[in-house]
Structure 1
């Protein structure tokens, strides 16, 4: 992959869709944004299983997932967001961010905008 980074999210999940729209409006996403359901994941160097599990930031043939994808989004957004993105890449903040991301991702069906599509019973994590 070359050119513009790509942000991949779960387009069936209302919470994920709302979160991405918020980031586009308030933070300014400097990437092509697409739901994994409409992306050529193999061409982007990732899998459906990974895309179902976490948000992905794909840049120069490197795939960042979860909290690190969010960190990359913030870094590329520029000021005032980039310092927070850099902090999220450094231990122990990195570990805390990943734990918090996983907690939210595992419970997104219970959060505002969550839908039945976010339920682990449908094979989603």
Structure 2
């Protein structure tokens, strides 16, 4: 098996050269988007996943976040109100992490976007993918986060916020302007 992709790169499940991974179930390196490889198994109960499971037929995008963090929860609900289509959110504490190809360490470190095809993105790339899945002007901002001049700046900013997320008061996400 080759080394994990460098942050911000897409993993190739068929590759065996450095910078790529042949194990799609291995957790991606922070800040990278991983190719899902084979589809993850369906959850035990279809009632828990009403719109299809990432990597399965009829799937939608999924934002996995730290449900024990007030800032993360408020932000995820802000995102949820703006998501288009059948995309949805779920606290990491309620997600089937193994089926999503994630570990408890992964979700303690970062929010994750699981695309309809099972592709996983973390850190600022997760935020970019979630923004792309929204309606309105947000997809443009999501695309900007992944551009070469911006992405290297967005990664450390995401990490700074993630390290301090339990200190951040989510008040700015509530109130009369919160539903727009």
TM-score bracket relative to the smaller structure: 0.7 to 0.9
The change in CA–CA distance for 1:91 and 1:105 in structure 2 (over 3 A counts) is: same
- The structure having more radius of gyration, on CA atoms, is 2
The change in CA–CA distance for 1:28 and 1:4 in structure 2 (over 3 A counts) is: closer
Asked if 1:109 corresponds to 2:109, the answer is: no
Higher relative contact order (CA 8 A, sep 6+): 1
Q: Which of 73-82 and 103-112 deviates more?
A: 73-82
After TM superposition, the score normalised by the length of structure 1 is 0.82
The whole-number CA distance in structure 1 between the counterparts of 2:71 and 2:149 is: 27
Runs of at least 4 residues off by over 4 Å: none
Superposed displacement of residue 32, structure 1: 2.2
Partner of 1:28: 83
The whole-number CA distance in structure 2 between the counterparts of 1:29 and 1:110 is: 30
* Unmatched 5+ stretches in structure 1: 114-125
For the 8 Å contact 1:29–1:73, the answer to whether it is kept is no
Give 3-state SS (helix, strand or coil) of 1:4's partner: coil
* Unmatched 5+ stretches in structure 2: 1-54, 171-180
Aligned length: 112
